[in-house]
């Protein structure tokens, strides 16, 4: 009997940090993706869909928190761990795959290459409330455009897109900054003049310090000027009481950086003047300010004023690969968080210029810029504002009174479908009729169709208005509704017309 | 200088067995997914989207070729190989995740639970021509319906869906069989009466033989009756000259199985009679024939005759988890394969009843049935029939004659977009005007907008009809076209009207 060993039952569980999406959650997301795609398409971007899997080599390591185990990606070896198996990983964003595509197909693609893409990305990070390991991104990028007109266009399109999905003007702001300005500040801080990008710095130690500075200033929105000051110097104790090590800059160095982050003034013009002073004589810093000025001018000329798009030096973006303008869209309205406290909704999209990502592959300069919209966060925002119903209309349910006449019931459902009405026959065990009506309720079915043997003999069907029924059950004094019968009998031949009349009651 | 060590450049390559989808490939697939979703929705199925990642434990091992390395899935450990990290894997189909969801949320979901889902699945298998490691599936299933009315409904819906996406009646056939009939045959062959499902057989050796038989009969479409006879007995030499081991049945046993596979007759009625004889006294075999009869009757009553849906005992489906009716949709027209030979297009969808999949988790019987459409194969079929254009309309390209007037050019593109016209400003280096027109050509742009300083001063723009231009270049004697100018000048204020007039020429 040794062969009859029983296996323990597997656990029916979504893996930690993943979730399932049901019904309206799926259709609402699909609708939003279609709305975004429509704007991207109208701007001339072409669709691209890369696979979820890339080689680890092609993906590179550009996630914000590079000190995490396994670098934040889900990686695996091609042939189940064979020694020469290629290391593969799930994409952690849409930009790294684009850089690979732009390099791989550089002789075939139009130049510039403008593409949009949408789909899930995966992060092997610690999950938290509302923070999942798989989430949707919806990106648009222009590869091969050195002009900041490309950055300005993306910012304008981002504003248009937010309005297209239902975020009203005034409820969002697109904030723009430039990594070159930060680089100028850092040159002043460190007293050196080297490469623009922190990525291609050849001095490993300084590159690490710069990465730490970047990570720290990216927290400005959360921990404020004083928090950044502490982290840039000797460290700080966070809310949970944990000691966080400082970057080790001097107080004077830290102050220069905080001055930069704090440089947003009441108008773009004032902000740009302040930045101009802050970068001093740094060539790259001045170039950065000049680019920001061009972007602000281009946008103003097209009517995108500071009510929609604003220069804001506190925007840094965590990713290591940005080399020029960076931008972020923030929703400015308050929502109630899981602990009942009001808070700003925060960032829903971000992007920037990454002139060195394609160069990784080809060795040739390929300027590029693009944006990524966090679709799941945007959906959460619209839900918090009550802009999404969260429900779908259930099907008309044809109940089964006599299981030998299944073909008749199926014919009724077919007729309804042919007339464009969502319909189905109850396919559970028909023995208990109450269960059939409970099922129809759970499906939010508007109408139940009932035909027992008596009705069948008389050529009739009963139609039960379940929406009205539910309203009457809720409020027995509702005279207006009471005058309409919740259940009616119609000729079998009038099934479709009768159902449509009931559906029209509630539209 | 040791720190300046150069890293080798990463290869810009799609991982082996994966590919990228560009432009129309993406939009055509999305359109097809939407068409399928519409039919599924009208039948009363609700959307569900599970994540790409499941625990290995929940997925189970049900792939057809269970003898492959790593069981055909891409698996990885949660915390980068930490000893207690959960083993996760990319889903290899949509059925295993559904079984997990049905078990996990059994107290909240309607019963029956009818869901549809669409998205990529991944197989860690050897790639081949047209055979990729990531491909789309589009599934609909009813969980909790024991009645074969649920199977019949899915077959009818499958026929409707194929017609909805553009496969004409006569170009497809849905073939239906029942695993219970095969089980009856096997009982006769092995002379035992045991459990219905090959999955829950407690005799490991016999279960292996059964799995081998299943795998062999699944090849009937490819290798024919004689090939199956050889493989079921002593083995055969395939086209490449490789010796394939036989299952080891006797010639008489093999013949019984081949008789079953070959039992399709000119009408469903004749086929059912033949099956009835073939199963002899087997209880489960007779039950299987009876179920097939019910399905055929239900479908006939709804007008789905053998021109669309037919009983065909040669349909087996490779997956191990089926327990009752199985079905497959095949396209019946010929296409030309990669070697120029005509061949039948073959299977594009399949499914069946799997009454034990949810039971794996809960221990309780949960009958279920469903279908999976291979969307990528269906798209390939429509392309082979010339039913998909494979192209998208390019954007109107506003060229840049004077880079200082970028804001003016952007304003033109904005106006066009506001009028619903797909448009963009050329964002590459504008120095070489020829490159701008080459770019417009590559984008299949219908119209280029040109405004140099002279036109700007005069308040004019030039509109170049690129479709007409291409036609004239192709055929200089085309009088009809020659009478229309390929380039026109309009007032700046008439930009939108002028562009629309050119677009209308070609619609």
Distance in Å, alpha carbon of A478 to nearest chain B alpha carbon: 29
**Per DSSP, what are the bridge partners of residue B55?**
B88
Cβ distance A443 to B90 less than 8 Å, yes or no, reads: no
Q: Is B418 on the interface with A (CB under 8 A)?
A: no
Residues of A in contact with B8 (CB under 8 A): none
Instruction: Please indicate if any CB of chain B lies within 8 Å of the CB of A424.
Output: yes
Of B115, B104, B145, B144, the closest CA to residue A23 belongs to B115
Put simply, whether B407 touches A (Cβ < 8 Å) is yes
pLDDT at B316 (0 to 100):
84
Nearest CA in chain A to B75: A76
Q: Is A104 helix (H, G, I), strand (E, B) or coil?
A: helix
Give A411→chain B minimum CA distance, Å: 6
Kindly tell me if the per-residue pLDDT of A280 is higher than 60.
Answer: yes
Q: Assign A387 a pLDDT band (cuts: 50, 70, 90).
A: confident
Set of chain B residues whose Cβ sits within 8 Å of the Cβ of A86: 15-16
What pLDDT score was predicted for residue A477? 65
pLDDT tens for residues A323-342? 999 999 999 988 887 788 88
Give residue A154's pLDDT: 98
Predicted pLDDT of residue B486: 84
pLDDT of residue B240: 82
B38 and chain A in contact, CB less than 8 A: no
Indicate which of A25, A47, A75 best probes the interface with B, i.e. most B CBs within 10 Å of its own CB: A47
Rounded to whole angstroms, the Cα distance separating B9 from A413 reads 61
For B39-97, the pLDDT digits (tens) are: 999 999 999 999 999 999 999 876 555 444 456 899 888 865 556 778 999 999 999 99
Q: Which chain B residues have a beta carbon less than 8 Å from that of A439?
A: 110-112
Q: What is the CA radius of gyration of chain B?
A: 29
Sheet holding A21-22: strands in order across? A21-22, B46-49, B113-122, B134-143, B368-374, B342-353, B325-336, B172-178, B309-311
Q: Chain A to chain B, count of Cβ pairs less than 8 Å apart?
A: 302
Q: What is the mean pLDDT of chain A?
A: 89
> Going by DSSP bridges, is the β-strand pair A325-336/A172-178 parallel, antiparallel, or unpaired?
antiparallel
Structure confidence at residue B296 (pLDDT)? 96
CA distance B141 to B143: 6
Q: Which of residues 126-155 of B touch A (CB under 8 A)?
A: 133-134, 142, 144-147, 149-150, 152-153
Does the pLDDT at position B384 exceed 80? yes
Tokens of A416: 């309804």
CB atoms A60 and B10 under 8 Å: yes
Of chain A residues 358-387, which have a CB less than 8 A from chain B? Answer: 360-363
Q: Is the pLDDT assigned to residue A203 strictly greater than 60?
A: no
The residue-averaged pLDDT of B316-339 equals 86
What's the mean pLDDT in B218-233?
A: 90
Q: Are A382 and A165 in contact (CB under 8 A)?
A: yes
Q: What is the mean pLDDT of residues B489-505?
A: 96
Please give, rounded to a whole number of angstroms, the shortest distance from the CA of B259 to a CA of chain A: 32
Beta strands in A124-264 (DSSP E): 134-143, 172-178, 235-237, 243-245
- Is pLDDT above 60 for B195? no
Residue A17 C-alpha, separation from nearest chain B C-alpha, in angstroms: 10
Residues of B in contact with A3 (CB under 8 A): 202-204
- Distance between CA A404 and CA A407 in Å, rounded? 8
Cβ–Cβ of A46/B16 closer than 8 Å?
Answer: no
Q: What is the mean pLDDT of residues B369-380?
A: 96
Mean pLDDT of chain B: 89
Beta bridge partners of A336: A342
Share of chain A above pLDDT 90, in %: 66
Range of weakest confidence among A214-223, A351-360, A394-403, B173-182: A214-223
pLDDT of residue B151 exceeding 50, the answer is yes
Residue B433 has pLDDT above 70, yes or no: yes
* pLDDT score, position A198: 40
**C-alpha span between B122 and A208 (Å, rounded):** 38
CA B207/CA B215 separation, integer angstroms:
12
Nearest chain B residue to A407 by CA distance is B298
Q: Which of B90, B104, B397 sits opposite A12 (nearest CB)?
A: B104
- A52–B122: do the CB atoms touch at under 8 Å? yes
pLDDT at residue A67, rounded to an integer: 44
* B207: closest chain A residue by CA: A3
Contact assessment for residue A316 and residue A328, using Cβ atoms and an 8 Å cutoff:
no
Least confident piece of the model among A281-290, B168-177, B327-336, B370-379: B327-336
Q: Name every chain B residue with its beta carbon within 8 A of the beta carbon of A144.
A: 427-428
The pLDDT assigned to A353 comes to 96
Cα separations in angstroms, B320 against A213, B210, B279, B357: 56, 10, 21, 10
Residue A114 sits at φ, ψ, to 5 deg, of -110, 115
Residue-wise pLDDT tens digits, A147-185:
999 999 999 999 999 999 999 999 999 999 999 999 999
Label residue A82 by pLDDT band (50, 70, 90).
low
CB-based contact B56:B25 (threshold 8 Å) = no
Q: How far does CA A129 lie from the centroid of its chain?
A: 16
**At A451, is the pLDDT very low, low, confident or very high (cuts 50, 70, 90)?**
very high
**CB contact (8 A) between residue B112 and residue A439:** yes
A window 168-227, beta carbon within 8 A of B: 202-204
pTM of structure: 0.91
Residue A393 is given by DSSP the state P
C-alpha angle with apex B295: B292 to B297, nearest 5 degrees?
Answer: 110
- Could you tell me if B10 lies within 8 Å of chain A, comparing CB atoms? yes
Instruction: Give every CB contact of residue A381 below 8 A, 6+ residues apart in sequence.
Output: A167, A331, A335, A345, A348
- Per DSSP, the three-state class of B367 is coil
Query: Which of A105, A126, A125 is closest to A115 using CA atoms?
Result: A105
Structure tokens given for A110 = 């139009």
pLDDT value at B257 more than 60: yes
**CA nearest to B394 within chain A:** A44
Residue A469 has pLDDT above 90, yes or no: no
- At residue B40, the pLDDT reads 98
Percentage of chain B exceeding pLDDT 70: 91
CB atoms within 10 A of CB B434: 7
Between B122 and B194, residue with greater pLDDT: B122
Question: Least CB-CB distance to A204: which of B3, B12, B50?
Answer: B3
Higher pLDDT, B479 or A307: A307
Asked whether the CA dihedral A307, A308, A311, A317 is positive or negative, the reply is: positive
SS3 A360: helix
CA distance B265 to chain A (A): 25
- Asked whether this complex has an ipTM greater than 0.85, the answer is yes
For B:446-505, CB contacts with A below 8 A are none
pLDDT digits (tens, 9 = 90+) for A100-145: 999 999 999 999 999 999 999 999 888 888 789 999 999 999 999 9
């Amino acid at each position: 009997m040794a062969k009859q060993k029983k296996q323990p039952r597997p656990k029916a569980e979504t893996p930690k940090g993943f979730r399932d999406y049901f019904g309206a959650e799926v259709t609402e997301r699909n609708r939003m993706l279609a709305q975004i795609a429509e704007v991207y398409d109208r701007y001339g971007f072409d669709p691209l869909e890369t696979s979820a899997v890339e080689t680890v080599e092609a993906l590179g390591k550009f996630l914000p928190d590079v000190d995490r185990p396994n670098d934040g990606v889900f990686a695996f070896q091609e042939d189940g761990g064979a020694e020469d198996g290629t290391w593969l990983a799930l994409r952690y964003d849409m930009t790294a795959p684009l850089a690979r595509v732009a390099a791989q197909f550089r002789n075939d693609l139009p130049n510039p290459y403008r593409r949009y893409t949408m789909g899930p990305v995966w992060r092997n990070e610690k999950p938290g409330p509302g923070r999942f390991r798989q989430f949707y991104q919806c990106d648009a990028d222009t590869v091969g455009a050195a002009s900041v007109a490309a950055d300005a266009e993306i910012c304008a399109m981002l504003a248009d897109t937010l309005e297209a999905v239902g975020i009203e003007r005034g409820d969002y702001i697109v904030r723009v900054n430039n990594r070159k300005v930060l680089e100028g500040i850092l040159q002043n801080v460190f007293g050196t003049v080297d490469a623009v990008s922190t990525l291609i710095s050849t001095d490993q130690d300084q590159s690490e310090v710069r990465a730490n500075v970047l990570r720290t200033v990216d927290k400005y929105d959360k921990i404020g000027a004083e928090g950044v000051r502490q982290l840039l110097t000797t460290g700080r104790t966070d809310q949970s009481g944990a000691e966080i090590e400082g970057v080790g800059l001097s107080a004077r160095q830290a102050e220069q950086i905080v001055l930069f982050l704090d440089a947003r003034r009441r108008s773009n013009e004032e902000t740009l003047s302040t930045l101009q002073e802050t970068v001093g004589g740094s060539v790259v810093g001045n170039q950065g300010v000049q680019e920001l000025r061009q972007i602000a001018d281009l946008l103003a000329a097209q009517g995108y004023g500071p009510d929609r798009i604003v220069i804001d030096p506190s925007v840094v973006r965590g990713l290591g690969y940005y080399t020029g303008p960076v931008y972020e869209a923030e929703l400015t309205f308050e929502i109630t968080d899981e602990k009942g406290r009001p808070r700003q909704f925060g960032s829903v999209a971000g992007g920037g210029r990454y002139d060195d990502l394609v160069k990784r592959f080809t060795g040739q300069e390929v300027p590029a810029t693009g944006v990524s919209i966090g679709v799941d966060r945007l959906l959460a925002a619209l839900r918090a504002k009550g802009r999404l119903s969260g429900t779908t209309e259930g099907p008309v349910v044809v109940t089964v009174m006599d299981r030998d006449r299944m073909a008749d019931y199926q014919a009724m459902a077919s007729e309804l479908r042919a007339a464009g009405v969502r319909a189905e026959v109850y396919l559970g065990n028909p023995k208990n009729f109450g269960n059939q009506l409970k099922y129809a309720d759970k499906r939010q079915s508007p109408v139940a169709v009932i035909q027992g043997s008596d009705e069948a003999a008389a050529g009739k069907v009963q139609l039960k208005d379940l929406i009205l029924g539910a309203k009457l059950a809720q409020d027995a004094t509702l005279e207006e509704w009471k005058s309409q019968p919740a259940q009616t009998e119609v000729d079998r031949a009038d099934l479709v017309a009768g159902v449509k009349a009931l559906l029209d009651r509630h539209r």
